[in-house]
Structure 1
Amino acid sequence: MLRDEPAWKTFVEELHAFLPRPSAKAGPFAELTAREEEVLHYLARGLDNHQIAAQLDISEKTVRNHVSGIFAKLGVETRARAVAAARDAGYGS
């Protein structure tokens, strides 16, 4: 199956649902809501707010709100630091 095939998105979603979630629920990551964790996974994969909104079928404003909440809970001030912390914790894989 190739990325440009129509079934690719469904395949990836099902694969992620099947695979175990990261065990990073310690420290500040334990405070994240389920939706913030979803957004964080996409952040760690390098998606921008527009792309995350499209993946989750929510508005960009909602994504910005979630990103702000993630920054506050992780104690970071930049997207790059949030991504680095998320990847270190196993998000985005």
Structure 2
Amino acid sequence: MQPIECGSCGNRVLVEKFSPTHTSTQWVDDAESNCAEFRAQAEKGVHSMYVRTCYSLRNTIDEAVENGTIAESYRTVPVAGSTQEVRSYT
């Protein structure tokens, strides 16, 4: 996972991009405390587990992929009974 800072609010998360439509995001700190979009929703009574995404962070990640700061990585999965450790996930 690679660290990235939101271009809007400065919140830091860890990101791994597997494909144009598959992004894994690991929040380092509490989303409602550190993300402006999540905080605004929480103030309306909609807590982070019900909020699908932060659009500002999503745009920042997409821009980072586009300019090469964040590279797409390949998932690997173990193969049962194989002597090889992993194979590419496709």
Same fold (TM over 0.5): no
Which of 1 and 2 has greater Rg? 2
Structure that is richer in helix per residue: 1
